[in-house]
């Protein structure tokens, strides 16, 4: 079995005299001193092995110069990994190395007295740092627990991590991207890191709902803008061709051809430019296509525009797309 590194805290449970934490006395007072660790090397019922030197643990405690907490179910070290506060029920301002192990004097809080009175947590469990050989190096905290792990007098149940749990722990470590030898503390730390990058299901679902609503609103706005743009374009084409008809720049028969040329914004602008250069009030006459002395053909503006439209359509059918202006110039040059 691999041991945890000295940088990890490791909770184990040890019983006191008769295997139970003494309850409140007849006057309702909790015990002033409790045994928190045995003397020498011990093996837990789930196979872990640790060694305790009470004198060295007391020396380290006095060198640190701070009281350590008494909590419930090791909540202080475990919840700290998730940025949460544990349940403190007392404080240890003094440790003593005695013949049978390490003892702690406890200043009990009201919550601790109530817990002892309720008898829900009757055993003591130290949380400590240790080296690779399992030698305890310093005491982190002390917990009241309902289920101890050390096979001491009257201790009847195993701790939270048994040999049977090891395959599952290895699978959890692998799923977290850790090595198979990763211990419970390493797994909990990895889970805590993952938790900081996640949000609750409610927030996730609300965010998705907000995004869906925003997308729907955006699509509706874009559709409305497109609709308004199409209406504005249609109105501009009608106004341009109505004006051209009134000014007799085009004939009613040519309106449809010009409307096709105005299908796009660029086509509309090209037709607008062409009509601006087309004289008003021009009528076809018998002399429109007569030959001049030089042999050239004189074409009226209306006829020129119609032929330009026809030429533009013919070229488009062949895969060549001409602007209205280019079509007019081509008709002039070809003298069609």
279-332 pLDDT, tens digit per residue, is 876 554 444 444 445 555 556 666 777 788 888 888 888 888 878 778 777 877
User: Percent of the chain having pLDDT more than 70?
Assistant: 76
Per-residue pLDDT, averaged over 163-191, amounts to 71
Residue 10, pLDDT score: 54
pLDDT at 19 over 80: no
Regarding predicted confidence, which is higher, 70 or 82? 70
CA angle 319, 324, 327 (to 5 degrees): 65
Per-residue pLDDT, averaged over 30-45, amounts to 87
Per-residue pLDDT, averaged over 161-166, amounts to 45
pLDDT at 39 over 60: yes
Residue 46, pLDDT score: 73
Residue 44, pLDDT score: 78
Tell me which of 32-41, 197-206, 235-244, 263-272 is least confident.
Answer: 197-206
Specify whether the CB–CB gap between 153 and 129 falls below 8 A: no
- If pLDDT is split at 50, 70 and 90, which confidence band does 57 have? very high
- Give the span between the Cα atoms of 130 and 57, in whole angstroms: 11
pLDDT at 13 over 60: no
Residue 66, pLDDT score: 92
pLDDT at 5 over 50: no
Per-residue pLDDT, averaged over 240-261, amounts to 86
Supply the mean pLDDT for the chain.
77
- If pLDDT is split at 50, 70 and 90, which confidence band does 155 have? very low
Tell me which of 19-23, 53-57, 179-183, 190-194 is least confident.
Answer: 19-23
Largest CA distance in the chain: 139
Q: Encode pLDDT of 223-248 as tens digits.
A: 888 888 888 998 998 898 888 888 88
For the chain, the first-to-last Cα distance in angstroms comes to: 100
Nearest to 173 by CA among 189, 195, 153, 155: 189
Residue 104's alpha-carbon distances to 37, 61, 124, 269, in angstroms, are 9, 11, 11, 93
Regarding predicted confidence, which is higher, 89 or 24? 89
- Give the span between the Cα atoms of 266 and 323, in whole angstroms: 9
């Amino acid at each position: 079995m691999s041991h945890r590194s000295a940088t990890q805290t490791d909770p184990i449970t040890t019983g006191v005299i008769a295997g139970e934490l003494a309850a409140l006395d007849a006057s309702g007072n909790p015990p002033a001193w409790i045994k928190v660790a045995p003397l020498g090397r011990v093996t837990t019922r789930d196979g872990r092995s640790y060694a305790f030197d009470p004198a060295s643990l007391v020396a380290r405690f006095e060198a640190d110069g701070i009281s350590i907490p008494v909590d419930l179910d090791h909540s202080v070290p475990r919840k700290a990994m998730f940025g949460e506060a544990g349940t403190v029920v007392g404080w240890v301002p003094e440790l003593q190395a005695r013949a049978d192990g390490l003892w702690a004097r406890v200043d009990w809080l009201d919550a601790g007295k109530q817990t002892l009175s309720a008898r829900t947590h009757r055993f003591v469990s130290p949380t400590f740092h240790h080296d690779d050989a399992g030698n305890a190096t310093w005491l982190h905290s002390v917990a009241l627990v309902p289920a101890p792990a050390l096979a001491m007098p009257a201790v009847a149940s195993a701790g939270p991590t048994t040999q049977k749990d090891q395959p599952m722990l290895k699978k959890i470590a692998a799923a977290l991207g850790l090595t198979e030898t990763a211990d419970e503390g390493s797994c909990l730390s990895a889970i805590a890191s993952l938790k900081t990058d996640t949000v609750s299901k409610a927030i996730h679902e609300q965010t998705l709902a907000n995004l869906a609503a925003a997308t729907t609103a955006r699509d509706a706005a874009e559709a409305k803008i497109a609709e308004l743009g199409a209406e504005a374009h249609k109105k501009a084409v009608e106004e341009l061709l109505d004006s051209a008809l009134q000014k007799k720049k085009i004939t009613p028969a040519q309106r449809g051809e010009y409307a096709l040329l105005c299908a796009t914004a660029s086509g509309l602008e090209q037709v607008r430019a062409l009509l601006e250069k087309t004289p008003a009030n021009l009528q076809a006459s018998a002399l429109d296509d007569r030959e001049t002395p030089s042999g050239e053909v004189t074409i009226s503006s209306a006829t020129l525009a119609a032929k330009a439209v026809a030429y533009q359509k013919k070229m488009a059918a062949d895969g060549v797309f001409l602007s209205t202006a280019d079509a007019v110039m081509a008709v002039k040059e070809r003298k069609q």
